[in-house]
Amino acid sequence: MRRRQLLLIALATVLLASCGTQPKSVTQLEAIKDSHLYYPGAALVRVDAVAQEQAQTNAAPVDGFVAATLKASASQDTVLQWYRQQLSARGWSGRGREAHGDTNDGHPVPPGYLFTRGGQEVFALRFDAIAGDVITTYIALTDHCDTVPPYPLGPGDCGNGKPVS
């Protein structure tokens, strides 16, 4: 009987361990090559990063991300084509545009372009024409997001069903 209990405990431990991964720290997110994929010759203005967090009793999990603001002298079309080529070569798939825009330094930014790789990575590319910024965001989705279609549109949006146009 004791042997059976130990076997069941071992099996339960393996199953629980396989249910999810440990949240990624900012250092781990920044070590992912695509989290700092910058257009050649662009000047890096700012980088913001947030670590993943597991769900708590009264709080949803937090998607980790690394967001970079760049200044590029090339046109938006040229920058977009470069990112499409680079991301495609790295296994990413284009998912169209976000259904809504965002804000940057208090003013609106038009909907960005979304790319996904597997079920837990999102790359968003936005252009702020007012400030002349290119904004890239690498998002590492938490485990519960990998089956929620369509893919979330950004940090904190996991599972809310926002459409991608």
pLDDT for residue 123 is more than 50: yes
Residue 52: inside a domain: yes
Residue 31: inside a domain: yes
Overall average pLDDT of the 20-49 stretch = 88
One-letter amino acid for residue 17 of the chain: A
Residue 148, pLDDT score: 39
Residue 5: inside a domain: no
Task: List the single range of 76-80, 123-127, 150-154 with lowest mean pLDDT.
Answer: 150-154
Residue 156: inside a domain: no
**Encoded tokens for 89:** 């070569």
- Tell how far CA 162 is from the center of its chain: 15
Overall average pLDDT of the 121-133 stretch = 90
For strands 133-140 and 107-109, give the pairing.
unpaired
Distance spanning both ends of the chain, measured CA to CA: 58
Residue 59, pLDDT score: 66
Residue 19, pLDDT score: 46
Kindly list the distances between the CA atom of residue 162 and the CA atoms of 98, 122, 131, 144, 154, in Å, as whole numbers in the listed order: 9, 14, 27, 16, 10
Overall average pLDDT of the 33-60 stretch = 85
Overall average pLDDT of the 14-37 stretch = 72
Domain count of the chain? 1
pLDDT for residue 152 is more than 50: no
One-letter amino acid for residue 140 of the chain: A
Residue 43, pLDDT score: 96
Structural domain span for residue 105:
22-145
Phi and psi, residue 102, nearest 5°: -140, -170
Residue 113: inside a domain: yes
pLDDT digits (tens, 9 = 90+) for 65-79: 899 999 999 999 999
Overall average pLDDT of the 129-135 stretch = 90
Residue 157: inside a domain: no
